[in-house]
Structure 1
Amino acid sequence: MTRVVLVGPPGAGKGTQATALSRELGVPHISTGDLFRAHIANSTELGQDVKRYLDEGKLVPDEVTNEMVRTRLEEADARGGFLLDGFPRNVGQAEVLGKLLSTAETKLDAVVEFKIDEDVVVERLLARGRDDDNESVIRHRQEVYRTETAPLLDYYADLLITVDAVGGVDDITARVLAALRDRS
């Protein structure tokens, strides 16, 4: 069984890798961004909460995100494993995830950190050409990652696998798969 959390700064390629790894490992890619969009599109109660926070330019509170992830992990396709992308994003969410998995009598197998230099990320994101991707915004997102999400690396020290996130998509996928094999 493969229960893996993907961690890395915005622009490190987590989403791209999650898609490739999901296919290779045969487990669902669970992205909080996708969950938010699906709940909003389906006008669920949680989706209405998310939309309200996002419309106000606020972060979605942990309680709302935790509940979305909890319900998603209870779906049949996630019982045999999953790749979590964007969750947990802080130690409080990691503690909630641990409790959810403990209740289901299981645990995480690994936490994969995509390691990449900030300047490479800035170049990569600027090259996308999105309106909301300017250098100051990108660097601010990197700072938010360092202060909020990076403490997860210490929290998950026993499960942590660090992978160089520079290179071709297939090369990085191969590095992750090799590291996961070596760990098991």
Structure 2
Amino acid sequence: MLNLVLFGPPGAGKGTQSQKLIDKYQLVHISTGDLFRAHIKNETTLGKKVSQLIADGQLVPDSITIDMLEEEVGKNPNAKGFIFDGFPRTVAQAEALDTYLESKGSKITGVIALDVTEEELTNRIAERKKISNRADDDAEKLKKRIDEYFQKTIHVLPYYETQDKLSKVNGIGEIDVIFNDLCAVVDKY
């Protein structure tokens, strides 16, 4: 089973590249952001909690995120593999994901980090906001999300690096060039 974590700050291109990887490798995409947005849209109890946290520019607690993720993995028992987008964001989440996958007889195959500068991220998200008008792309909230990534989330990378599962790919440039670089990494697994 091919289980990938696509890693990068908000606006790095995880969603765009995930879709291309899904199509090529027939993976199931699990985006915690998409899960959160679906719960918010459907106004579930969880969605209301998540909505307030996101509106405040905060991360959703690990316990909620992990429960949602496990539920989503469980819905796809015949998957050839998964691509995790936006998860894990903490070492505790990474450890929980490893434990959960091990309980299912699986593991993370590899972690690919998209390297993108803060300036590029800001420009991309400003453009995305014009099109999608996502609430979490508001300038003030965006700054919190980017800061959160560079101050906290990025510390998950050494966890996977010590397991020899981390690869870095330049996330700036043409979408197809970045995709080809990602595929070169995946094809080595």
Letter in 1 for 2:184: A
SS of 2:169 mapped into structure 1: strand
**Closer, same or farther in 2 for the Cα pair 1:62/1:107, shift >3 Å?**
same
The TM-score with structure 1 as length reference comes to 0.87
Task: State how 1:18-33 maps to structure 2 within 5 Å.
Answer: 18-33=18-33
Is 1:82 matched with 2:92? no
Equivalence for 1:154: 158
Task: State how 1:1-184 maps to structure 2 within 5 Å.
Answer: 1-51=1-51, 53-54=53-54, 58-76=58-76, 79-130=79-130, 132-134=137-139, 138-157=142-161, 158-182=164-188, 184=189
C-alpha separation in 2, matches of 1:106 and 1:56: 35
**Closer, same or farther in 2 for the Cα pair 1:59/1:143, shift >3 Å?**
closer
C-alpha separation in 2, matches of 1:125 and 1:68: 26
C-alpha separation in 1, matches of 2:124 and 2:6: 19
Alpha-carbon deviation of 1:57? 5.8
Alpha-carbon deviation of 1:98? 0.7
The TM-score with structure 2 as length reference comes to 0.85
Letter in 1 for 2:61: P
C-alpha separation in 1, matches of 2:33 and 2:165: 24
Q: Is the 8 A contact 2:101 2:107 kept in 1?
A: yes
**Closer, same or farther in 2 for the Cα pair 1:49/1:144, shift >3 Å?**
closer
**Closer, same or farther in 2 for the Cα pair 1:140/1:59, shift >3 Å?**
closer
Size of the aligned set, in residue pairs, is 182
The share of aligned pairs that are identical, in percent, is 39
Deviation string 1:4-47 (CA, Å, 9 cap, x unpaired) is 00111111111111111111110111111111122334454433
Letter in 2 for 1:143: D
Alpha-carbon deviation of 1:56? 6.2
Question: Which structure 1 residue ranges, 5 or more long, are not aligned?
Answer: none
CA RMSD in angstroms, aligned pairs only: 2.2
C-alpha separation in 2, matches of 1:77 and 1:2: 14
Alpha-carbon deviation of 1:117? 1.8
